[in-house]
Amino acid sequence: MEGKELRGHSPQDELYGPIKIPPYCWPIIDTYEYQRIRHIFQLGTCHYVFPGATHTRFEHCLGVAHLASVFMEHIKNTQPELGVTEEHCQSVIIAGLCHDLGHGPWSHKFEYIAKEYDPSWDHEDMSCQILKHIYDKYKLPIKKEVIEAACNFILGLEYPGYPIWLSRIIANKENDIDLDKFDYLARDINRTLSIARFQYDRLIFHCRVVDNQLAWRQSEMNTIERLFYNRNDMHKRVYQHRVNQGISCMIADMLEAADSYINIETVISDIEEYVKLDDRIMTHILEGDYGEEAQRIALDIEERRLYKCIGELRMKPENLAGLTYSQLPVSTIENDIAEFSDNLPPSKLRVVKITYRFGLKENKHPLLSIPFWKPGNEHAYFLTEDDISCIVPVHFMETAMRVYVTDPASIDEARKAFNKWKESKKLQ
């Protein structure tokens, strides 16, 4: 990368129009490792259900970098007393640009599979590893502390010597309001559902740093509430759509069948090999490069021979046979259901657990965790339940499970077994 002239231009984005990507970002973008995310769908398998959901991690990451640039410029202009430096801006913008570099094929689905081999593995940490790899490999003309700070901000962690509030712009672990969410919700809604979406630009321009934390003007309470409603709606109608989850189960089975060729356990700890993985692996599987069983499942997906959902159970997190529902392994539930059938092996069942959360806390309105400010007030403050509309959910978390069957010939038998199991547990 040495000797290469830094460039800057404004790519056209479907949400924001021309976006300004700072010149120091392009040496990162113009690398093999970064260009890989052009080939990873943002929504995994959702395009099989929502044909427009073909946007990628690449455009999302550029979008978050753009919002980060707009946000930092806003803070610098409106609160010069904070002393925001160029290094502060660079670290936040690079964190937005690179926060999803670590995603594997089919995005979050691959992460669930990787955790079966290494429970501590996550795509955020891999994003940091890949960013550091790019920095070292291409000798980027950026200060090392900027890269280190960016990695911390990807993880939602503070960086020594930098203001705390900088760590909450890209990944906000305090109240879940961050630029990553602003972009992915707006972009995903635009590609899937025709629903009114929250106004991310208002949330940016009505944000201030108060008491060393990000606070929003109270007049934007309804805008923030719309954000959480949008997210809940997207989980119910898109991300955890019944057919989409069935296809995700097939992807998991397909990757398991192809693992003797992929070797996931080794790949997730080897950056050079990991960056070769993206959604284009599907083409190789379809061509038979990764074994007959993986090819069969891939063809079933393409030709719409999908796993059938034979039952869904919505429930509060109550006890199930003496254990909390969320504690039961899916294999245990599959075995239990199969016991209510004479000829149905558990291997033909796939149980999927679902959680819908309105906010970060299980049974707390998310607005109660958000700092607000008012003109003339020196300090941030938090809302009380009396400040919130009475038209709110009774519960802020739902849990559910779906049961899929892999063999069309076993659909009726599986459905009967599921109903008998449900009756035996006195579940509705």
**Cα–Cα distance measured from residue 180 to residue 210, given in angstroms and rounded to the nearest whole number:** 21
Query: Rounded CA gap, 412 and 54, in Å?
Result: 34
Environment class of 308 (CB within 10 Å of its CB; exposed 0-12, middle 13-18, buried 19+): middle
CA distance 314 to 320: 13
Q: At what angle do helices 221-234 and 179-192 cross, to 10 degrees?
A: 60
CA-closest candidate to residue 23, choices 77, 74, 82, 86: 86
Half-sphere exposure of 329 (CA within 13 A, CB side): 4
Structure tokens at 109: 């689905």
Burial string for 68-105 (b: 16+ CB within 10 Å, else e) reads bbbbbeebbeeeeeeebeeebbbbbbbbbbbbbbbbbb
Task: Point out the catalytic residue in the list 47, 66, 99, 123.
Answer: 123
DSSP state of 236: I
| Contact (CB, 8 A) for 358 and 228 | yes
| Residue ranges of E strands in 150-269 | 207-210, 213-217
DSSP string, 63-132: HHHHHHHHHHHHHHHH-GGG---HHHHHHHHHHHHHTTTT-BTTBHHHHHHHHHH-TT--HHHHHHHHHH
| 3-class SS of residue 397 | strand
CB neighbour class for 36 (10 Å; exposed up to 12, middle 13-18, buried from 19): buried
In order, the DSSP letters of 271-295 are HHHHTT-STTHHHHHHTTTT-HHHH
User: How many C-alpha atoms does 365 have within 13 Å on its Cβ side?
Assistant: 20
Residue with tokens 């003339």: 376
Q: Please confirm, yes or no, whether 379 is among the known catalytic residues.
A: no
Q: Would you call 303 helix, strand, or coil by DSSP?
A: coil
End-to-end CA separation in angstroms for the chain: 61
Active site residues: 123
